[in-house]
Amino acid sequence: MGDQLTSTGLKPADFASSQEVRWCPGCGDYAILKAVRKTMADVGASLENTLVISGIGCAARFPYYMATYGFHTIHGRAPTIASGAMLANPDLDVWIITGDGDALAIGGNHFIHMLRRNFNCQILLFNNEIYGLTKGQYSPTSRENTRSPSTPMGSIDTPLSAAHVALGAGARFVARAVDTQQKQLVDILTKAYQHKGTSFVEIFQNCIVYNDGVFDPFTDKKNVADHQIYIEHEKPMIFGANADQGLMVDAGFHLKPTKLDGDTRALIHDETNRSLAFMLAEQSPPDGPMVMGVLYQNPDEIYQTRVKEQIKTAQSNNKRSINDALRDGTTWSVK
């Protein structure tokens, strides 16, 4: 959204609907739900102006658990309905909830066009690298050789990188977070809310039933320090249990983790540098740390404003009524 933070006095619990939450026990979605409710309370969102829209999938049940307006739509199409709602009411505070299948397979087209248009809203992609609701088939983000009911000998497609797709599509805010790292997640969701334009947040979400532990190499407690980095604008990109590793660009223009000592300093993050953002999204264990935080943020005019401006311009050039319009061009009278 990007509006001033004003308190509505609502607490996280006030954003909970009366519906019983029905995800599998231990599902990462619980943690995300908690973080979103807390973010909404923190930023002073109102119930009536908040609209949560989802497609189909486990993540897509999200709106039912919110006390705001909510629309559980059809597979992959949440961005389309969100776009229309924002065309009708540019001031709605819209959160799109999607998953790796919903956003990157069946809804891939809408996902990229949503990002390039830059409507003012948030897209939260719950990436668990698997199809949960349909019982465990591999997804567009599943790693090669993923064995699943539909790929008994292992998947053979190259996985998509959500952040790369988003950056390539022209997204103006690209961030990453982990479901269970609450403080970090709320922090990033708050930044996403504050950014004016389409804010894309990829959340690594553990599917405890069909893909448990797939993110352990960087989310497991023992791995976080050395295999995950949380970056912030204009701050050096440092990680490691002893804060002694940093991301550096080498002579061949590769971004690489480097051991820091007196002479070697880590690169300072510039979130407005899109090329850097691509390189940050490229990092992954075991060669480098998984990068969390705001990879890229570079605001531009939002779609809603552009639509309004065109109408305003047309009206200042040619103020007329529908009756006038009907009488356009050559007319003649029959007595």
Partner 1 sequence: MTDMAKSQPASSTTATNDGSMETAIVRIAGDSGDGVQLVGGRFSINSALAGNDLVTFPDFPAEIRAPTGSIYGVSAYQLHFGGRNIKTIGDHVDVLVAFNPAALKTNLALLAKGGILILDSSGFSATNLRKAGYKTSPLEDKSLDGYQLMQLDIGKMTMLATTPFGLTKKQALRCKNFFALGLLFWLFDRDRSKTAVWIKDKFAKNPEIGDANVAAMNAGHSHGETIELAGDLSKIHVPTFKMEPGLYRAITGADAMAYGLATAAELSNRQLVLASYPITPSSNILHKLANMKELGVVTFQAEDEIAAVGAALGASYAGALGVTASSGPGVALKMEMIGLAVATELPLIIINSQRAGPSTGLPTKTEQSDLYQSVFGRNGDAPLPVLAARSPGDSFYCAIEAARLAQKYMTPVILLTDGFINNTSEPWSIPDIGDLARIEVPNRTDPTDYKPYERDEKTLARAWAIPGTPGLEHRIGGLERDALTGAVSYDPANHQKMSELRAQKTANIAFDIGELTVDQGDENGDLVVVGWGSTYGPISRAVTTMRAKGYAVSHVHLRHIFPFPANQCELLSRFKRILVPEMNMGQLITLMKAMDCPAATGLTKLEGQPFLVSELEVAILDAIKEVKNG
Using CB under 8 A, list all residues that contact partner 1.
17, 19, 47-49, 51, 53, 63-64, 66-74, 77, 79-89, 91-92, 109-110, 112-113, 307, 310-311, 313-315, 317-323, 325-335
* Residue with tokens 């922090």, as numbered in its chain: 187
Q: Which is nearer to partner 1, 85 or 186 (CB)?
A: 85
CB of 302 to partner 1, least distance (A): 15
CB of 312 to partner 1, least distance (A): 9
Single out the residue of 160, 165, 228 nearest to residue 200, CA to CA. 165
CB of 37 to partner 1, least distance (A): 14
β-pairing, 245-249 vs 238-239, is: antiparallel
Q: Which is nearer to partner 1, 19 or 145 (CB)?
A: 19
CB of 67 to partner 1, least distance (A): 6
CB of 29 to partner 1, least distance (A): 16
* Residue with tokens 């390539």, as numbered in its chain: 168
Phi-psi region of 52 (alpha: psi -120 to 50; beta: other; left: phi over 0): beta
Single out the residue of 150, 216, 138 nearest to residue 179, CA to CA. 216
Q: Which is nearer to partner 1, 62 or 239 (CB)?
A: 62
CB of 119 to partner 1, least distance (A): 11
Q: Which is nearer to partner 1, 147 or 327 (CB)?
A: 327
CB of 311 to partner 1, least distance (A): 5
Q: Which is nearer to partner 1, 251 or 334 (CB)?
A: 334
Q: Which is nearer to partner 1, 78 or 279 (CB)?
A: 78
Q: What is the DSSP string of 47-88?
A: TTTEEEEE-SSSGGGGGGGBSSEEEE--TT-HHHHHHHHHHH
Q: Which is nearer to partner 1, 144 or 324 (CB)?
A: 324
> What tokens were used for 150?
């539909």
> What tokens were used for 253?
């223009």
Phi-psi region of 34 (alpha: psi -120 to 50; beta: other; left: phi over 0): alpha
Q: What is the DSSP string of 114-127?
A: HHHHT-SEEEEEEE
> What tokens were used for 162?
């959500």
Containing H/E element for 33? helix 28-43
